[in-house]
Chains A and B, each alone.
Chain A
């Protein structure tokens, strides 16, 4: 009888030990969407596009850079664990070598009032992003900060993960006009470490999507293959906040300008987006 009791006790101990050690290696990554205090971010994007040129077209390139300082405030927390946030634009610095002085000044002006709100779940999924003042909605050929923010935004796993574990998520990003692109993101938890008493997670972020032409538009883009992105995320596990995210995106596109009757094959595009928390 004692032998049976001892055996049962041992089995229970081993089971508990195994469970504990499992939990110790599992990391539950969630955004704080309930009590987070205001955070300041810098969102930056550098875009380089080039056309190699051929017997008909001259070789040409474009470089643009936008840097936005913004403050993210929690407006309301919901019972389902999500929260509604406002991204308030504090300052904008924009430049482009394909714009006149007047143009880049106007762009800076309208971007600086492009405050937007969105709902975010604990895993970072953003829904209902809307620009606060409908009058400030960018027109078709104007810049929009929301897709930039969404490309850099990491999506966390729905369940606890271990070091080296990967997860996949897909999100729709609303682009120009009525077009929506489904972006596939893959993540791998690479490292978890303590820094000044704060637990940090280092996450690799990959991204891919197909750029399909909007056949109703006068200006159409088509990617020969997937547009691919590669980047890194630092996540503050202790506070449930993003520390930084960066993503480099590479694309090769065929461009069709129906009004001018031009087709430009093989335009190379390289974009680097970074989102840094200033806290």
Chain B
């Protein structure tokens, strides 16, 4: 009888320890995985993941994300994607990239995968400073950019399409420079600035859903330059910065 009681007591202790360990690992999140066999694979069963620092997924590795995955980003988190990108959320189980602390910005995700077109579906991106697509082509479908400083900056990218995407509560929702972006049923509203077309930026598709932004819906660098007022040269800002 004594033996049985002690067995029950020790089993209880083991169960309690396992439960505490599981709770602790959930609270801190699963560490962001390294590439295995040329692939960084984020699985729903291991979600949420936590990314504290910057990570580079090399051009030789693919980045694949299952529906329902959440990645909690630390203050220094930056996701540089140089290889094939497939972020495949579903409408009922979107993928979420958000700050671990909602009061602090994380750096953002940066797609630089020139080898093959990226596919990003049903993703929610929150609280990043700047998300970029640089020298890459691909598709965003049902992607929500919420509360970022720059929602999405497309730079030197010949063919990027945004289908049924939504951008709200960003400071600068969408910026397009030296790139071609095609908008289909994409809503850009309730941001401070909506769409900014910089030098050699081209926008195709429908722009009807770019409305109700605080400062401007669509701005173009070319038309800004045509105004009689002078803009301050960039090197002036850079000098101010280096003085302080």
Give A contacts to B, CB under 8 Å: 45, 47, 49, 51, 53, 55-58, 60, 62, 64-65, 67, 69, 91, 93, 95-101, 138, 140-144, 147, 175-176, 211, 219, 221, 249, 253, 255, 257, 260, 262, 264, 267, 269, 271
Contact = CB atoms under 8 A, between A and B. Distances in A.
Between A67, A95, A257, A260, the greatest number of chain B beta carbons within 10 A of the residue's beta carbon is seen for A95
A160 to B, nearest CB: 35
Given A91-B53, A93-B75, A101-B134, A260 B240 contact: no
Contacts of B241: 47, 49, 62, 64, 96, 98, 143
Nearest to B229: A58
A269 B236 CA distance: 13
Interface of B: 53-54, 75-76, 78, 107, 110, 129-130, 132, 134, 149-150, 153, 155, 172, 177, 224, 227, 229-244
Given A62-B240, A97-B149, 13 more contacts: A47-B241, A53-B229, A56-B230, A57-B231, A58-B229, A62-B237, A93-B78, A95-B149, A101-B134, A101-B153, A176-B243, A221-B240, A253-B240
A58 B234 contact: no
Nearest to A98: B237
A181 B150 CA distance: 35
A93 B231 CA distance: 28
Contact of B107 (A95, A260, A264): A95
A143 B237 CA distance: 12
Given A95-B129, A95-B130, A97-B149, A144 B242 contact: yes
A93 B76 contact: yes
Helix, strand, loop or mixed for chain A's interface? strand
Contacts of A57: 229-232
Given A67-B76, A97-B149, A101-B134, A142 B229 contact: no
B81 to A, nearest CB: 14
20 contacts: A47-B240, A47-B241, A57-B231, A58-B232, A60-B232, A67-B76, A69-B76, A93-B76, A95-B149, A98-B238, A100-B155, A142-B242, A143-B241, A175-B243, A176-B243, A211-B243, A219-B236, A219-B239, A221-B240, A257-B235
Q: Is the interface of B mostly helix, strand, loop or mixed?
A: mixed
By Cβ-Cβ distance, the 4 closest A-B pairs, closest first, are A98-B237, A58-B229, A62-B237, A95-B129
Contact of A101 (B155, B231, B237): B155
Contacts of A143: 241-242
Which of B129, B153, B241 has the most CB atoms of chain A within a 10 A radius of its CB?
Answer: B241
Contacts of B134: 101
A271 B242 CA distance: 12
B227 A221 contact: no
A269 B75 contact: no
A141 B238 contact: yes
A175 B241 CA distance: 12
Nearest to B233: A260
A93 B172 CA distance: 20
A169 B127 CA distance: 41
Nearest to A104: B130
A95 B110 CA distance: 13
B200 to A, nearest CB: 13
B223 to A, nearest CB: 12
A221 B78 CA distance: 35
A60 to B, nearest CB: 5
Contacts of B129: 65, 95
Nearest to B230: A57
A58 B78 CA distance: 33
A149 B231 CA distance: 32
Contact of A257 (B76, B229, B236): B236
Contact of B233 (A56, A142, A253, A262): A262
Contacts of A253: 240
Nearest to B236: A257
A55 B232 CA distance: 14
A277 to B, nearest CB: 16
Nearest to A63: B149
A153 to B, nearest CB: 16
B175 to A, nearest CB: 10
